[in-house]
Chains A and B, each alone.
Chain A
Amino acid sequence: MLFHSLQFLAFFAVVFFGYWLVARWRLPRLWVLLGASVAFYAAWNPWPLLLFAAYAVINRVTSRVLERVTRPAARKAALAAAVTLQLGCLCLFKYGNLFLGTSGWLLRRLGIEVQTPVLDLVLPLGLSFVTFQAISYLVDVYRGQVSGRHSLLAHLTYLLFFPTVVSGPIVRAKDLLERFDQPPSLDPVDGAQGLFRMAMGIAKKLLLADVLAAGLVNPVFADPTLYTSAECVIAAVAYSLQLYFDFSAYSDVAIGAARMFGFPLPENFDKPYHARNLFEFWNRWHISLSTWLRDYFYIPLGGNRGSKLQTLRNLFLVMTLGGLWHGAGWRFALWGGIHGGLLVLLRIWWWIRGRPKSYGIVGTTFGIATTFSLVVLTRIFFRANDVPQALTFFDRLLEFTPGLANVSPLLWATLIGAGLAYLTPRSLFDRGAELFAHAPIPARAVALVGLGLLLRQVSGIEVQPYIYFQF
């Protein structure tokens, strides 16, 4: 059930009314949320729910232990055991075949002939997000930042909360689980703004991200040798725009939907392509993951409290493993490693030359352009099917062949639209939300129906007859 499907909107409306009907009672409202979340997930595949239930049980038991036991060593052991179990599940389901295949390859390189088995496991949707969320809770309890006395029902609802279960944001317990006990309220403005945000998210996804994907990104990345260097450049840039509008659209719908249930979630994006350097970029892109890596991985590793060498090591390690978190392929680790390497270089540069206190117009422009270029280029590894294909893409880029015959006027229009949408100041967006929130109910309904009709209408337009013409 995709967020931008009519099925989801109908499902959401039913859950919304059901939830607010019983919102004043804690247990019923949690059951409604849990039931909806289970139904939402089971529409894809019910079996992984058993794994997530096991996560909830582990969290519940471990959090109780952490609450009751005071001996530091025992607490640490309990936490380590639970985190190892959950990371083990993630490794098994997500990386099992990657590790087995790589081990077999290495052994064969050493002259040892082995037949590596292939695990026939379905990767549960959202497993990476749920695992990180579960771990964050345990660490927060361990650190005493949140209570460990939540019920199993609350745990399950926290892990499976349907707006965030598939692709985040990775929500901390204080932002969701801790709020389950408080009676929710829905301010009319909050509700309307949540609705507005959901609508905008769906529009971003359908009008921008999907068009860029279908019209240019997918065909060019499928076989870059069929396209000119100029088209490959446009496709690489389009991919970064697509990724932003796709993922931020998902976050918009998730945040908007959660808000309509009375849970204000933290933002996940903050104009990432405005970043003047890669550190800034990672503070603005997929914020819930970046902060998770910082709080639960980088800092426990020692962060920047150790020697300079340790700081650089930590930085590189976090980025490489963070890269691998995105997918079961070494190209993701390579992508993360390249980012880690660049951050290391930048950090060294700052140690030598000092971190700039202000950038000025020229510095800002140069910084934004450089950072964006690096992000776009490194994402070729992220988007390509494998490393050789990424290298083919780079080969194609470096041939400097001109010609943009495969970029249709509609795609140009979409690219320009995406650029404008990205550059739209947040204040203007907020102003739009304000207007919507204060408009009469019939006017809001007209706006929503109108947007729906518009989306349906443009979805019938042919994107691009992508044929290769090299003459």
Chain B
Amino acid sequence: MSFGRRHATGLTLLTTLALAILLSLLPLPDPLRPFQRLKDGSAEDLTAILFPSTGKQPLPENPAVPTEEEATAALDPAEPEVEAPSQPGAPPRELALKLLGAADLPGARKLETLARKVGARHVPIEQGCRRKSQEGYCANPSLAPFFRELDALLAGTRTKPVRVVHFGDSLIASDHISDVIRSRLQARYGSGGAGFLFVDRPTRGSGRTVRTGKASEGWGIAKITDRGGPASPVGYTGVTFTTTKEPQQVEFDVAGARTAELFFLTDPAGGDLQLRADGQPVGRILTRFPKQEPAFARTRLPPDAQLLSLTARGAVNLYGVSLEAGGPGVVYDSVGLPGATAKLLLRTDPTVFRDQLGHRDPSLVVLMLGGNEAFEFSRKETTTAQARESFTQLVARVREAVPDAACLLTSPMAAGVRKMSGEVAPRAGSEEIAQVVREVALEAGCAYWDMLAAAGGQGAMRRWTDANLMLEDLVHPRAVGSDLLGHLFDLALAEAHFGWRGGAALQDPPGLESPEALVRTFQRLHTLEQTGTGRVGLIQLGASHTASHMFTDRVRTRMAERFGLAGRGFIGAGQHSKRLTSSGVDRKLTGEWSVLDALKPSGKIWGLTGIRALAAPGASAEFSFCEKCEGKTRSRLQLHFLEEPGMGRFDVLLDGAKMASFPDTEHAVKSASARVVELEAEGERHVLSVVSRGPGAVSVFGASHELDRAGVVLDAVGLPGSTIFTLASYDQPTLAQQLKARRPELYLLFYGTNESAMAELDLHQMRAGYHQVFQTLKEASPDAECLLIGPTDRMQSTNRHNVWVEAPSQRRVIPALREIARTHGCAFWSARAAMGGPGAIARWLERRTPLAHPDHVHLTPEGYAVLAEAFSEDLLAAYAASLPEGAR
């Protein structure tokens, strides 16, 4: 056998390689050259083949993906390739995020991380001009009507809901994008109800049912996307649901709704609609009228109604039902039809469209269309001129129906196509249609938001697909992708709103204000962190939010994670409390005790927690600290008690061993005053006991425990139901004496929630109360700094149909506290703003895991944890910002 024949396979391989290289070097068209860069003297192709990189090469158009830490930290504005400049007057993005409230902030931060990962951008809304001034300036920007009404909601002057109608195609039909926007707007401005709901899904069996009723199967469906147009006149919703002979039913979940408004069409041969709320008849509507025209019927729902059932008999043409809460707040309708285009929306009956949309009376109309136009354009089935014509007519129709409403158009999102290799490439058409939409919007005085740019531009599809944010069709985002688009849109809207208000108009901004007031505390914390020596003492004085310990426990944990913990601090005397066990503390009273508190005045001398526990002879009190500790660190303990003439004798025991007896013989007790006894002992776990020996009563305030190691100590001294007036009513010298013993470096004052409920609250008196308290605090520790925590959101029932309204003085208390903080050189943190502003307590109550108590005052353990996390984050962020550049 010849050499060539023997080695034919090897020679075939070599010849193939040689031929491939030869062809690559010849001056041939690119499709005929296997290694196209070889001709340029580059061996990259061959190198890449022989030595494939083990790491995944980043796509050239991918921006760098930040680490989790980078992404969750404060967003860096100095990233021009990702961050578009904010609008003038717009708040920093961090502030816009915080306006969402502490409960939604973590979710929003995750979406921010995702946005960076896929190269999505914050693109501002471009506003057109509704009316120009004589000087040529824009006197009425596009979104002004909407923003004015949002401001009225914030100011509490609007009694009706602010409605938004969001038109769209299949991206909106799934209600993921609009769901995010709705929940965000309702979190910021309050909820006015679910809004308009279809009878059934426009394409039966397809998509989600979150914006529809639960309908029987016999409803006929006519919609603008039907081939040849709808069989019945349809209005602004683009679809109508009809019955003919057989009665049909539909049920709506109406929990929380107070009114249901039916949108239907009258007809000379019309049937009737029977309405039942939880099975009880609430009305009957005849649709038989001499003329065929759009009509509306509003029904009040019984309080606490859960289910609205409609039975249609005869020929009924029903568009849907609007469910509202009957008060102020945002109502966000999503009107999305799969396959919708501007041209198809023009198939709606002009009269019905005008009457229905006019009746709906939205403050803002959003048109999120263009995706299907871009598809048609890519297939040469439409032109930009035709698309422009359709959009212009549609905008005109909207403006005619609701001339006073703001309008906002968005570009389509990018779409992708898959090559035969499986590679994803951008689909043509989106940019061209986006340009058309922008021009139409601005010419008509509408606003424009570039969703294409926000998603990351034409090339975004590869990144979105890689991140599994798109369905395989490369047109429809998955739920998370849609949430991201909703997030970007919402933030753009929020920034536009706050930009329009000029930023300063924000009455109750979230975040830590005047952090410079904490400079010494931050320096001490820095020293603690750097050197691992020292102690930083914090005392939080307040009402039930403090007394519950749940807020302070979480803040203590967060502080301890960074700076170490030097003990649990002060505990008021009292009965056993489960709330203390989580921090390793127990207490109990044995024998005959009376626990008095400062809310029912009986003398003026109170312990730090506003109580005084009176022991009869033979009674004993026990404080167990650090119950699960095994360490050997030396402990320092304090016992706070009242020393007064005629008091009984008592023994102080530490771990069962008698340490002292009081009153001691060294000095005679001439007047009542607080006294603090200090004890030291080896080890961390200790039980401090007080045993009353008689014959007089013994008054115990509480005890504290600290460890002889570096760290923070946070005392939570709260009295449920108390106010700053309560604290000011204490005997101030004894208060100062006790505070001084606790050696605080920072005072946290968390009052205001109970003041908010005082309809006749006198702010002058409140200021005077704070003034007096600050003097005491100053006397106790002249170097200590202060931080005022504004009240949580509080609502109260009007007792009419269980309607909850804002606590009467809340709007006055918060600015007053802010001003008091400023006057006294304190930092300020608004708990209500952190929760999400007015009405947040109701929204926290409605969450799947309720964050608020049904009393609309207190929070659940989870709620306190969320609030404490938000507070700790802001405090630690301010601390980090105070550090020198290299130390952050």
For residue B287, give the distance in angstroms from its CB to the closest CB of chain A. 28
Q: Are A452 and B476 in contact (CB under 8 A)?
A: no
Which residues of chain B from 415 to 438 have a CB within 8 Å of any chain A CB?
415, 417-423, 425, 427
Q: Are B205 and A395 in contact (CB under 8 A)?
A: yes
Contact with B along A15-34 (1 / 0, CB 8 A): 01100100000000000000
Q: Are A7 and B10 in contact (CB under 8 A)?
A: no
| Interface status of B13 (Cβ within 8 A of chain A) | yes
Q: Which of B14-22, B259-267, B500-508, B566-574 contacts A (4 or more CB under 8 A)?
A: B14-22
Return chain B residues, CB-CB under 8 Å to A7. 48-49, 52
| Interface status of B389 (Cβ within 8 A of chain A) | no
Return chain B residues, CB-CB under 8 Å to A457. 31
| Interface status of B823 (Cβ within 8 A of chain A) | no
Q: Are A471 and B8 in contact (CB under 8 A)?
A: no
For residue A193, give the distance in angstroms from its CB to the closest CB of chain B. 10
Return chain A residues, CB-CB under 8 Å to B881. none
Give the docked Cα–Cα distance between A13 and B117 (Å): 38
| Interface status of A222 (Cβ within 8 A of chain B) | yes
| Interface status of B225 (Cβ within 8 A of chain A) | yes
| Interface status of B300 (Cβ within 8 A of chain A) | no
Q: Are B419 and A461 in contact (CB under 8 A)?
A: yes
Knowing A214-B418, A459-B421, A467-B473, the reply to whether A399 touches B205 (Cβ < 8 A) is yes
Q: Are A460 and B421 in contact (CB under 8 A)?
A: yes
Which residues of chain B from 1 to 42 have a CB within 8 Å of any chain A CB?
4-6, 8-13, 15-20, 23, 31-32, 34
Q: Which of A93-101, A305-313, A442-450 contacts B (4 or more CB under 8 A)?
A: A442-450
Q: Are A465 and B420 in contact (CB under 8 A)?
A: no
For residue A329, give the distance in angstroms from its CB to the closest CB of chain B. 18
Return chain A residues, CB-CB under 8 Å to B19. 442, 445-446, 449
| Interface status of A191 (Cβ within 8 A of chain B) | yes
Q: Are B471 and A442 in contact (CB under 8 A)?
A: no
Return chain B residues, CB-CB under 8 Å to A20. 10
Return chain A residues, CB-CB under 8 Å to B419. 459-463
Knowing A17-B10, A195-B9, A471-B226, the reply to whether A43 touches B207 (Cβ < 8 A) is no
Knowing A1-B52, A215-B418, the reply to whether A445 touches B31 (Cβ < 8 A) is no
Return chain A residues, CB-CB under 8 Å to B473. 219, 222-223, 226, 466-468
| Interface status of B50 (Cβ within 8 A of chain A) | yes
Knowing A395-B205, A468-B338, the reply to whether A463 touches B420 (Cβ < 8 A) is yes
Q: Are A211 and B420 in contact (CB under 8 A)?
A: yes
Contact with B along A422-463 (1 / 0, CB 8 A): 000000000000000000011011101100110011111111
Which residues of chain B from 562 to 599 have a CB within 8 Å of any chain A CB?
none
Return chain B residues, CB-CB under 8 Å to A466. 417-418, 472-475
Give the docked Cα–Cα distance between A422 and B339 (Å): 37
For residue B488, give the distance in angstroms from its CB to the closest CB of chain A. 23
Per a CB cutoff under 8 Å, which of B12, B32, B421 touches A210? B421
Return chain A residues, CB-CB under 8 Å to B344. 471
Which residues of chain A from 217 to 263 have a CB within 8 Å of any chain B CB?
218-219, 221-223, 225-226, 260
| Interface status of B54 (Cβ within 8 A of chain A) | yes
Give the docked Cα–Cα distance between A45 and B420 (Å): 28
Give the docked Cα–Cα distance between A471 and B475 (Å): 17
| Interface status of B203 (Cβ within 8 A of chain A) | yes
Q: Are A448 and B16 in contact (CB under 8 A)?
A: yes
Closest to A392 in B: B205
Per a CB cutoff under 8 Å, which of A207, A225, A448, A463 touches B417? A463
| Interface status of B306 (Cβ within 8 A of chain A) | no
Q: Which of B227, B418, B419 is the most central at the interface, judged by chain A CB atoms within 10 Å of its CB? A: B418
Q: Are B15 and A463 in contact (CB under 8 A)?
A: no
Q: Are A465 and B10 in contact (CB under 8 A)?
A: no
Return chain B residues, CB-CB under 8 Å to A448. 12, 16
For residue A13, give the distance in angstroms from its CB to the closest CB of chain B. 5
Return chain A residues, CB-CB under 8 Å to B54. 43
- How many residues of B are in contact with the other chain, CB < 8 A? 55
Give the docked Cα–Cα distance between A464 and B54 (Å): 32
For residue B216, give the distance in angstroms from its CB to the closest CB of chain A. 17
Which residues of chain B from 192 to 215 have a CB within 8 Å of any chain A CB?
203, 205-207
| Interface status of A202 (Cβ within 8 A of chain B) | no
Closest to B340 in A: A471
| Interface status of A144 (Cβ within 8 A of chain B) | no
For residue A404, give the distance in angstroms from its CB to the closest CB of chain B. 15
Q: Are A6 and B49 in contact (CB under 8 A)?
A: yes
Contact with A along B362-374 (1 / 0, CB 8 A): 0000000000100
Give the docked Cα–Cα distance between A206 and B5 (Å): 31
Give the docked Cα–Cα distance between A225 and B209 (Å): 13
Give the docked Cα–Cα distance between A446 and B420 (Å): 23
| Interface status of A469 (Cβ within 8 A of chain B) | yes
Which residues of chain B from 322 to 379 have a CB within 8 Å of any chain A CB?
338-339, 344, 372, 375, 378-379
Which residues of chain B from 635 to 674 have a CB within 8 Å of any chain A CB?
none
Give the docked Cα–Cα distance between A446 and B15 (Å): 9
Per a CB cutoff under 8 Å, which of B12, B16, B18, B475 touches A468? B475
Which residues of chain B from 396 to 421 have a CB within 8 Å of any chain A CB?
415, 417-421
| Interface status of B170 (Cβ within 8 A of chain A) | yes
Closest to A224 in B: B206
Give the docked Cα–Cα distance between A463 and B421 (Å): 9
Per a CB cutoff under 8 Å, which of B18, B34, B378, B425 touches A452? B34
Q: Which of A17, A469, A471 is the most central at the interface, judged by chain B CB atoms within 10 Å of its CB? A: A471
For residue B369, give the distance in angstroms from its CB to the closest CB of chain A. 14
Q: Are A222 and B49 in contact (CB under 8 A)?
A: no
For residue A227, give the distance in angstroms from its CB to the closest CB of chain B. 9
Q: Are A464 and B16 in contact (CB under 8 A)?
A: no
Per a CB cutoff under 8 Å, which of A211, A441, A461 touches B4? A441
Q: Are A465 and B338 in contact (CB under 8 A)?
A: no
Knowing A16-B10, A452-B20, the reply to whether A462 touches B52 (Cβ < 8 A) is no
Q: Are B49 and A467 in contact (CB under 8 A)?
A: no
Q: Are A464 and B417 in contact (CB under 8 A)?
A: yes
Knowing A225-B205, A470-B338, the reply to whether A13 touches B13 (Cβ < 8 A) is yes
Per a CB cutoff under 8 Å, which of B13, B15, B339 touches A442? B15
For residue A381, give the distance in angstroms from its CB to the closest CB of chain B. 19
Give the docked Cα–Cα distance between A195 and B379 (Å): 41
Q: Are B420 and A458 in contact (CB under 8 A)?
A: yes
Return chain A residues, CB-CB under 8 Å to B476. 223, 226, 468
Per a CB cutoff under 8 Å, which of B5, B206, B227, B415 touches A225? B206
| Interface status of A266 (Cβ within 8 A of chain B) | no
Closest to B427 in A: A465
Contact with B along A379-407 (1 / 0, CB 8 A): 00000000000000001100100000000
Q: Are A441 and B427 in contact (CB under 8 A)?
A: no
For residue B869, give the distance in angstroms from its CB to the closest CB of chain A. 23
Return chain B residues, CB-CB under 8 Å to A213. 422
Give the docked Cα–Cα distance between A192 and B378 (Å): 45
Return chain A residues, CB-CB under 8 Å to B338. 226, 468, 470
Closest to A446 in B: B19
Q: Are B472 and A470 in contact (CB under 8 A)?
A: no
Return chain B residues, CB-CB under 8 Å to A206. 420-421
For residue B186, give the distance in angstroms from its CB to the closest CB of chain A. 28
For residue A260, give the distance in angstroms from its CB to the closest CB of chain B. 6
Return chain B residues, CB-CB under 8 Å to A444. 12, 15-16
Per a CB cutoff under 8 Å, which of A13, A221, A464 touches B418? A464
Knowing A7-B52, A462-B419, the reply to whether A191 touches B15 (Cβ < 8 A) is no
Give the docked Cα–Cα distance between A446 and B205 (Å): 54
| Interface status of A188 (Cβ within 8 A of chain B) | yes
Give the docked Cα–Cα distance between A464 and B425 (Å): 11
| Interface status of A10 (Cβ within 8 A of chain B) | yes
Closest 3 CB pairs of A and B: A191-B9, A459-B421, A222-B472
Give 21 pairs: A residue, B residue, CB < 8 Å, sorted on A.
Answer: A10-B49, A210-B420, A210-B421, A211-B420, A219-B471, A222-B471, A223-B473, A226-B206, A396-B205, A445-B15, A452-B34, A453-B32, A460-B421, A462-B417, A465-B375, A465-B415, A466-B474, A467-B415, A468-B473, A468-B475, A471-B344
Instruction: Give 9 A-B pairs besides A214-B422, A442-B15 with Cβ atoms closer than 8 angstroms.
Output: A6-B49, A191-B12, A210-B422, A223-B476, A445-B16, A468-B170, A470-B203, A470-B338, A471-B226
